[in-house]
Amino acid sequence: MSVTVRFAPSPTGRLHIGNIRTAILNWLFARKEGGRFLLRFDDTDLQRSKEEYVVAIREDLQWLGLSWDEEARQSDRTARYDAVAEQLKAAGRLYPCYETADELDRKRARQLARGLPPIYDRTGLKLSDEDRQKLESEGRVAHWRFRLANTEGADSLTPLPTLINWIDVIRGEQTVDVGSLSDPVMIRADGSYLYTFTSVIDDIDLGISHIIRGEDHVTNSGVQIELFNALGATPPQLGHHSLLVAADGQALSKRLGALSIASLREDGLEPMAVVSHAALIGTSDPVEPHTDVAELVELFSPSKISTAPARFDPAELATLNAKLLHELPFSMVADRLKGLRIETDEAFWNAVRGNLEKFDDVKEWWSVVAGTVTPVIEDAAFATRAAELLPPEPWGGNTWSEWTKAVKEATGAKGKSLFHPLRLALTGREAGPELKVLLPLIGRPRALARLQGQAA
């Protein structure tokens, strides 16, 4: 079977680490199976959907390197939804209801008070044409519910336990009892469609083979399978991944603003760190940085995705980002370094990458080798002696050890008391990349000046 999956965000906000995980799992699945990955904007909620979010979602996906093969927008497809709605109305699967939200609340409260499940009582199904006319003449406008197939016969209105089963590609055997659910509203009184409805029509029309989404949609899947069946379509295979929780186990939802992809990008995180993290948390694979997405494609399998909530800790992402930078080869950063006006070669990058947490930290180390440093001199006599012993250029891989050997012999300093003052003088910093590699990059004139206490 050819694989087609979709990522279907509602453009009502920015993408965050939680929904990007859904996108990445779908994307990896498509690439692994040689299939297609579609981007669908679920923008039927016209009040909350905004064009700026459509643009931002595309930008975020592009930044992460998640290219899509086709784009669809629900707001372009109203005519198709209208046609399907007419078909389901004619078949008696969509029926009009007239209760207000308040009336429904009161009904539920009464049911609960009597110890009954708060399921919609299908009053709408009992209305005659005259009843409807009367309600409409009072100014009421119908909303439409989908009649779940959960009764003994079409005439009975009393729902019976009705199990919808599927083998979830992530969670294994799944069951939803649609006998315990209210007939869901599919068309609001203002004529707008609910996502449950439009999504199924799109999934049919776009040939979606697998729906991979969060486990908050499991119950929805029971209803949607009924809708696929009502439309004579075979439901796609379903996979529901667990949701992200904060490191303390609490829901992430409140903190998601800070975890938007835009804010991670502004914080200077590497896209491949975000992708690696989102692809691997909550799976049986170790959460490690991958510089090449092909490795993540290779690793991906729905069966590796855990059903337990995946814990997201921003500190872990920061660590992963640093680890990724420490591994990045010069060839992958040469252009970015040029963009920062760092005209350098592999030796500099290899010397400093192990000290970076964010890519931009490289600017600091570039200023140490090619800019101005205010040296820290704790013992002027020691520094002067070390300056006198600086060997003549050219400098190379052995310069540091030859020079420090000479300084050690001349001053008697060794270990930390030899190396630490030299580091403070040469770099103005307590810690940093190996001086063996930095020293030749700093060069003799700067090293000499710094040892003499001059900013250079």
Residues that bind ligand GLU (CB under 6 A): 8-10, 42, 195, 199, 211, 213, 217
Q: Which is nearer to ligand GLU, 194 or 456 (CB)?
A: 194
Distance CA 50, CA 11 (A): 6
- Contact by Cβ (8 Å): 213, 22: yes
- Shortest Å, Cβ 204 to ligand GLU: 13
- The SS3 assignment for 439 reads helix
List the structure tokens of 325: 């930078």
**Residue 72, helix vs strand vs coil:** strand
Task: Report, in Å, the least distance between residue 423 CB and ligand GLU.
Answer: 52
Taking the least distance from each CB to ligand GLU, the nearer of 195 and 197 is 195
Contacts of 155 (CB under 8 A, 6+ apart): none
CB of 217 to ligand GLU, least distance (A): 6
State which residue, 10 or 75, has the beta carbon closest to ligand GLU: 10
Q: Is 254 annotated as a binding residue?
A: yes
Q: What is the largest CA-CA distance in the chain?
A: 109
SS3 of residue 79 by DSSP: helix
The distance of closest approach from Cβ of residue 5 to ligand GLU in the complex, given in angstroms and rounded to an integer, is 10
Q: Would you say 224 or 276 has its CB closer to ligand GLU?
A: 224
Question: Shortest Cβ distance from residue 216 to ligand GLU (Å)?
Answer: 8
Shortest distance (Å) from residue 52 CB to ligand GLU? 17
Q: How far is CA 111 from the centre of its chain?
A: 41
Tell me how far, at minimum, the Cβ of 195 lies from ligand GLU, in Å.
5
CA 143 to chain centre: 35
DSSP 157-170: -S----EEEEEETT
DSSP character at residue 241: E
Q: Which residues contact 452 (CB under 8 A, 6 or more apart)?
A: 383, 384, 387
Distances (CA, A) of 134 to 100, 131, 141: 16, 5, 11
Cα–Cα distance measured from residue 178 to residue 162, given in angstroms and rounded to the nearest whole number: 6
Nearer of residues 252 and 299 to ligand GLU, judged by Cβ: 252
Judged by phi (left if over 0) then psi (alpha if -120 to 50, else beta), residue 249 lies in left
Show binding-site residues. 254
Show binding-site residues for ATP. 254
